Amino acid sequence: MDIMERIKQAIESNSVILFMKGTPEFPQCGFSSRASQALAACGSEFAYVNVLADPEVRENLHRYANWPTFPQLYIKGELVGGCDIIMELYENGELQTLIDQAS
């Protein structure tokens, strides 16, 4: 399967998915750690892709949504943004709302 198709399928198959460096249990960068902690604090399960374990995704995800950095959060197929946006949404309560609406 083409890498862009794999990325699209992962996003469409999960209502909440975080492309991150590492895993929620063992994040490999501070930004991915903060983003996954904010999602976990919202009390909902979320899918994730460890871009360090899949170099093809790491090299091509920025082309998918024209977003250059990791982590990248998608909710209901739409790019929400990276760590700064995730943290801002978490702090003002909007992340919880978005996740609740996605369930």
Provide the annotated binding site for [2Fe-2S] cluster: 29
Binding residues: 21, 29, 58, 70, 83-84
Which of 51, 96, 61, 50 has its CA nearest to residue 75?
Answer: 96
* Stretch (H or E) spanning 47: strand 47-50
Dihedral sign, Cα of residue 87, residue 89, residue 95, residue 96: positive
Binding residues for glutathione: 21, 58, 70, 83-84
